[in-house]
Amino acid sequence: MDLHTFIQDPSAEDLASDAQRAMYEYWQTARNDSQLAPKSTLDPVELPRQCLPLLAVLEPLEGNDFRIRIVGTGVRSSIGRDITGQLVSQIKGAEDFLDCLRQCCGKESTYYAGGPASWASGRQEFFTSLMLPFGSPGHIERILIVFKFTHHMPASPRKSPPQVSAQQA
């Protein structure tokens, strides 16, 4: 796997940016004491403003793929194109990221991943991402992702990444 960071259930201290930490807090509040935040808690007006340019909203589809519903302007600028409406499986170089999304959806858990942005054609070379599932147990309806793009390899958080394979998803 090309990802240098892959953490299930990260803490706020593991996250690389204030935008990721703000969205993590939003998700924690939205889920209350439940395992997941319900999709009904997604309110664009209430989302942390600093997250919006760095946000992507994905919809899980049958067949273990994801449709990209919304992509923030900062993501578009960093990756060099608009991927709104595409399937993640159609993005060249995004195979490892697709595996992460499958883990997030299948295990109904938050994930933090990062590494080389080989799937991006923009000027940024590395990324970190916080993946937050919304839905109910057994039915993930959306995954919100908050990105951070950089020109250098992000520092690894305090937890070491496990080896992940598609069979574990």
| pLDDT above 50: residue 169 | no
Contact 31, 37 (CB under 8 A): yes
pLDDT of residue 56 exceeding 50, the answer is yes
User: Got the DSSP string for 78-99?
Assistant: HHTS--TT-BGGGSTT-HHHHH
Cα separations (Å) of 47 from 22, 42, 58, 121? 9, 8, 16, 28
pLDDT band at 153 (very low <50, low <70, confident <90, very high): low
Q: How far, in Å, CA of 158 to CA of 50, rounded?
A: 25
CA distance 27 to 17: 15
pLDDT at residue 158 greater than cutoff 60: no
Q: In order of start, what are the domains of the chain with their CATH numbers?
A: 5-34+50-154 (3.30.450.20)
Supply the mean pLDDT for the chain.
87
**Percentages of the chain per state (helix, strand, coil), in multiples of 5:** 30, 30, 40
At residue 165, the pLDDT reads: 42
Rounded to an integer, what distance in angstroms lies between the CA atom of residue 23 and that of residue 12? 10
Positions of E strands within the chain: 5-8, 55-61, 65-71, 111-116, 126-136, 139-150
Phi-psi region of 103 (alpha: psi -120 to 50; beta: other; left: phi over 0): alpha
pLDDT digits (tens, 9 = 90+) for 57-95: 999 999 899 999 999 999 999 998 999 999 999 998 888
pLDDT for 168 beyond 60: no
- The C-alpha torsion from 31 through 33 and 36 to 40, rounded to 10°, is -40
**Over the stretch 116-148, which tens digit does the pLDDT of each residue have?**
888 887 666 889 999 999 999 999 999 999 999
What's the token pair of residue 114? 């990062």
Task: Output b/e per residue, 89-106; b: 16+ Cβ within 10 A.
Answer: eebeebebbbbbbbbbbe
